[in-house]
Amino acid sequence: MADGEVVADHDVLMIGGGLAGLRAAVAIAETSAHLDVAVMSKVYPMRSHSVSAEGGAAGAIADDDDTLDEHAYDTVSGSDWLGDQDAIEAFVAEAPRELLQLEHWGCPWSRQPDGRIAVRAFGGMKKMRTWFAADKTGFHMLHALFQTTLKYREVTRYDEWFVTRLLVDDGRVQGVVAIELMTGRIQAVTAKAVVLATGGCGKVFPFTTNANINTGDGMALALRAGAPLKDMEFVQYHPTGLPFTGILITEAARAEGGWLVNADGYRYLQDYDLGTPSPTPVLRSMELGPRDRLSQAFVHEAEKGRTTASPYGEVVHLDLRHLGEKLIDSKLPFVRELCLKYERIDPVHELIPVRPVIHYMMGGVHTDIDGAAGLDGLYAAGETACVSINGANRLGSNSLPECLVFGARSGRAAAEYAGSAPPTTAAVQAQVDDEVRRLRALLDRPAGDDDGVARIREELQSTMEEAAGIYRTGPSMEKGADAVQALRERADAVGIRDTSRPFNTELVAALELANLVDIGECILLSGLAREESRGAHQRTDFPARDDEHFLAHHLVRRADDGSPRIEQLPVTITRWPPGERVYGR
């Protein structure tokens, strides 16, 4: 089969095989059995990054003295009032139903002694509403969804295909160009609707909980196709990553009673304003403050000289020893396994060194409440998308049900659109041919001696960490944006040493690098435009929240000359006017 051929035509094509993509596929198959559905992923679905989620999934259970309104308010407040409240209300209403449906599909939620669903506390949540499956929640959720897709013959899978371009003609998305990694062939797959669900872009930073596959592919594809990205300046640090690998030590460890202590063995969070209304924060719950404020507290501890030096930067310690071996083995077995394997320490007897680490993108492809992404036939869900329920800071355990709720919504919306969409136009073949020429030219470009993909990527990551870290300034972001522009020119000229076609990882890395450069530029330019401090975006030159000028989303679009352009979009407020972020009531 020659490069550039159209290998298949589908009604709806999902890009990404994680929770959001598979949930969208099931929604389509269940509601529109006559539609031809496909899932394309650059990894086998069970290797999607969703599998690594540990802590749990939030959903209010009325029997546990919880309400939808309380979950909604916690999410609105946690977002620092930048979350769209219509989307948040829909999310909290549908999350419990989605979690219960997942149990019917085989997810083994942990149970209370009386057989009811077990829930645990999570940061920023006033009630215990986080469902969990020990501390391997993402694995069990994804496994249940994956095996559910297998019963639908309508779902075709393209495992280990890497999408390089969205095909857009006549004002609508009509498919993709992708590389089949096993053969290296460049093929087109057409579709009446495309759902982007490729996850986040943590690899734009050097120290992240994200897998190597999280390179912002879906966001970059949408941006180049003409769809806007939203709220890209909001990048979440998780306060407890292992210092060598960046592997996450789940928030569940603190939910079960773990303590964060500094070099003096002192629970330092009691010295910081985490949004609790009392001047004397409750010692049991202060480790469950919002992630942005816990990460900021770490920086202040380091400035005071109260952290511990390690070969991989300053650290504090997470203390689980008082929980006991029985609780750790029953509720946190994966935490113990990770510590033993990657740090050679046993948390039953020893302190765990941790530091803040890039974890999640609040921003992403701008969508409406049903996943529509600004171009006819294009939808997005999961971390790739920004609907927005997370605003300036995501609360822990909201991301997994977000994948389910908006994966299902985007799937149903894409199915409805595809049911009446016209056939693919012949004009897209010219775009396919153009993409084949571009990729062949990249393979044929001679590689220099010094400027390889890895070197440019490392410089990009160090630039982003310096310019867009936990605390930022206008000059640092401006300097970073200039550096990223210079890196773009080098990335555009990079050559490939490996000219073979099957499983050419250097070619994939070069294409991922282009995506990372685009995303890094969007993060910095959006941050420069937001002259305030809100949630995860903290500017020392503008330390206050400014609702008068910046109670608005930032959209990033490609201008006609290819440069990014920043616009504002009002935040949707339904019931809760902006107020102080308060936790622990």
Kindly list the catalytic residues.
238, 254
Report CA-CA distances (Å) from 475 to 338, 372, 543, 554, 566: 39, 36, 15, 20, 18
Dihedral angle at the C-alpha atoms of 473, 479, 481, 486, nearest 10 degrees?
-170
CA max distance for the chain: 70
Angstrom distance (rounded) from CA 20 to CA 11: 18
- Tell me the residue ranges of DSSP E strands in 91-184: 119-120, 130-131, 155-159, 161-169, 172-180
Task: Show the tokens assigned to 544.
Answer: 């206050």
| The token pair that represents 45 in the structure block | 């679905």
Question: What tokens appear for 511 in the block?
Answer: 């294409």
Q: Are strands 229-230 and 235-241 parallel, antiparallel or unpaired?
A: unpaired
DSSP codes of every residue in 198-209: ----GGGSSSBS
Bridge partners, residue 155, by sequence: 37
Residue position matching structure tokens 């056939």: 423
Q: How far apart are CA 260 and CA 253, in angstroms?
A: 10
Cα 301 from Cα 305, distance rounded (Å): 6
Contacts of 17 by beta carbon, 8 Å cutoff, 6+ apart: 39, 40, 41, 43, 44, 45, 48, 146, 157, 159
What's the order of all strands across the beta sheet hosting 119-120?
Answer: 57-58, 130-131, 119-120
Of 128, 1, 142, the residue nearest 74 (C-alpha) = 128
Residues 6+ apart with CB under 8 A from 558: 223, 224, 226, 564, 565
Residues with Cβ within 8 Å of residue 552, at least 6 apart in sequence:
568, 569, 570, 571
